[in-house]
Amino acid sequence: MGYQHELAKETLVSKGFKVQSLPILNLVQEFGTVIKTEPTANTEVSKDTTITIYFASDEDLIQVPDNAVGWDIEMAKAIIESVGLTVDSEVVYENSSETAGTVIRTEPEAGEKVIQGSKVKLIASNGIPEVGVATLTINLPSSGSTRGNFEVFVNNESFTTKTLLMDGKEYSTDIQGSGSDVSVKVYIDDKEYYTCIVDFTKNPAVISNGVYSSSINLGVRKAMPSVTGLSYETAVAQLNALGFHNIKKDDKIVTSDGDVNKVVSQSPSASSQSILGVTATYPLDTEIILTVGKEFGI
């Protein structure tokens, strides 16, 4: 046993025997390998005896369809059952960028041959990419022709480092990661510049809670609002909302109770249009001094 059936047939014919070869289903031996003979080996027979060689064959096996992949679960099930196989009732879900519920592979794999009625397991996408991609768009600081070291950290691990021209323009870069609450930080010249949270489980990934460092000058200029007459807290809130964070408080004794804790003056003063119709604007890191009324004796 163990010979290829064609060689075994030739050998027996050369010795004067009549030979017929019949396939027999066998999943262990290589195709064509002789499994057994009738009569069995070492049996004494006459030369006119017909010897039957049984060899390993996959003729009665069914190939797992390759067109079940890429369909939804119900369609894939119908395709597999149409060729005489059954489908495991338990579907396995794995991370994949394919639409949730799409069959991404089978076990046994497509193309493998199995016994009729064998059970095939479906592996489908849960819609969560193994690795998500997000496009991060940053407003660079404006510092003329100065170059700076730009580095992005994803969950505290350095993802990319580049040398960029700090020209105040937008810069976009793709980042990769996995998970739903991933911390992303951007450093310029080793100083924290921007932070955000990325949900890589979405397709495409979603960026939220983007905040620039209050100590960074983005090169953005805005008109100075009038906060005179407002309470100190309200004035600070309005300035912060516009991006002004460099605010100093200067107390001043006032005679009217109505002016206590109110902004009585500000520097720079509120922007106004010039005779040419141009409104004065200020960098976001401009120091703003708010003079606040204080009651005598406090």
pLDDT score recorded for residue 209: 83
- 142, pLDDT greater than 60: yes
Residue 14 is given by DSSP the state H
pLDDT score recorded for residue 211: 83
Mean pLDDT of 6-10: 86
- 143, pLDDT greater than 80: no
Query: How many whole angstroms from its chain centre is CA 11?
Result: 62
- For the chain, the residue count is 298
Q: Does domain 221-295 have CATH number 3.30.300.20?
A: no
Give domain limits for the chain: 5-59, 62-125, 132-212, 221-295
How is the beta sheet containing 191-199 ordered, strand by strand? 157-167, 142-154, 182-188, 191-199, 206-212
Residue 232 belongs to what H/E stretch?
helix 232-242
How many CA atoms lie less than 13 Å away from 157 in the CB half-sphere?
Answer: 7
pLDDT score recorded for residue 104: 95
Per-residue pLDDT tens over the stretch 255-276: 888 999 999 999 999 887 655 5
Look at strands 86-87 and 119-125 and give their pairing: parallel
Rounded CA gap, 66 and 111, in Å? 6
Residue 18 belongs to what H/E stretch?
strand 18-25
Of the listed ranges 85-89, 100-104, 170-174, 294-298, the one predicted with least confidence: 294-298
pLDDT score recorded for residue 171: 92
Residue 234 is given by DSSP the state H
pLDDT score recorded for residue 186: 95
CB 263 within 8 A of CB 237: no
Q: Which fold has domain 62-125?
A: Trypsin Inhibitor V; Chain A (3.30.10)
pLDDT score recorded for residue 216: 58
pLDDT score recorded for residue 146: 78
- 292, pLDDT greater than 90: yes
Q: Which fold has domain 132-212?
A: Immunoglobulin-like (2.60.40)
Per-residue pLDDT tens over the stretch 199-244: 888 877 888 888 887 655 555 678 899 999 999 989 988 887 887 8
Per-residue pLDDT tens over the stretch 36-81: 888 888 888 887 888 998 888 776 778 899 999 999 999 999 999 9
Q: Which fold has domain 5-59?
A: Trypsin Inhibitor V; Chain A (3.30.10)
What is the pLDDT confidence band of residue 150, given thresholds at 50, 70 and 90?
very high
Amino acid present at 293:
G
pLDDT score recorded for residue 78: 96
Give the mean pLDDT of the chain. Answer: 86
- List of residues 6+ apart from 97 with CB closer than 8 A: 125, 129, 130, 203
Rounded CA gap, 107 and 118, in Å? 11
Rounded CA gap, 114 and 134, in Å? 43
Per-residue buried b or exposed e for 94-117, using 16+ beta carbons within 10 Å of the residue's own CB:
ebbebeebbbbebeeeeeeebeee
Rounded CA gap, 267 and 182, in Å? 41
User: pTM for the whole thing?
Assistant: 0.42
Whose tokens are 């003079």? That residue is 291
CB 51 within 8 A of CB 102: no
Mean pLDDT of 238-253: 85
What is the pLDDT confidence band of residue 14, given thresholds at 50, 70 and 90?
confident
Amino acid present at 6:
E
pLDDT score recorded for residue 298: 56
Do 132-212 and 221-295 fold alike per CATH? no
Catalogue the E-assigned strands of 231-298.
Answer: 247-254, 263-267, 281-283, 288-295
Per-residue pLDDT tens over the stretch 89-138: 999 998 888 899 999 999 999 988 887 888 999 999 988 778 888 999 88
Of the listed ranges 22-26, 124-128, 150-154, 159-163, the one predicted with least confidence: 22-26
Amino acid present at 229:
G
Rounded CA gap, 56 and 115, in Å? 14
Rounded CA gap, 219 and 199, in Å? 29
